Chain A
Amino acid sequence: SYELTQPPSVSVSPGQTARITCSGDALPKKYAYWYQQKSGQAPVLVIYEDSKRPSGIPERFSGSSSGTMATLTISGAQVEDEADYYCYSTDSSALRVFGGGTKLTVL
């Protein structure tokens, strides 16, 4: 089965840049999407189609993709950005797949 691999945790100080990676063999042909999930809440989309930002998402959130790796970047991370982040894509059969999630700590 298809897997998307993320680091379990990333830690930065407020104001620093946080980068969360997601690797998957199909990413050269499939877009990556990123969801933010704060404790006890439903996930919220923060990046779609590798690098596009939905309305209402702060400009400090950006995304990129190269080869088999997609990256979510939070420039000038703030305390309120502390959350779990999940990458998402589909495999060649269009089955939906989430990465294992990355816990972002900002302190």
Chain B
Amino acid sequence: EVQLVESGGGLVQPGGSLRLSCAASGFTFSSYSMNWVRQAPGKGLEWVSYISSSSSTIYYADSVKGRFTISRDNAKNSLYLQMNSLRDEDTAVYYCAREEWSGLYYFDYWGQGTLVTVSS
């Protein structure tokens, strides 16, 4: 059974940093591209970042470019999101999502999310 479990969320002050982790199991992690998607309270889904299976290709949404860094450790079956210079508007539930291809890249499995609150 595919499982994605996020951790690392919490309360942080504006300008602070936080590192999210996503532990993957039930599939060959090193064969799949992965993403982070977030959802601000009461708002819609927002794609944040993508990393290919070998880490050779990385994309970011404009809203986080230059502040967030996605990475992965295939030996540990883990995905990470280093978040720096955090802003109030980064407050959200952050989901890690596995990417699959069927006509287009899409997300087939999601974790349950971890809440990040940016507030003074």
Residues of A that sit less than 8 Å from B by CB: 1, 30-31, 33, 35, 37, 41-45, 48-49, 52, 84, 86, 88-90, 94-101
Contacts and interface: CB of A to CB of B under 8 A. Distances in A.
Interface size class of B (residues with CB under 8 A): 20 to 34
Nearest to B95: A42
Contacts of B35: 96
Given A48-B103, A89-B104, A96-B105, A42 B112 contact: yes
Nearest to A1: B62
Interface of B: 35, 37, 44-47, 50, 59, 61-62, 95, 102-108, 110-113
B13 to A, nearest CB: 27
Contacts of A90: 104-105
Contacts of A98: 37, 44-47
B44 A42 contact: no
A60 to B, nearest CB: 21
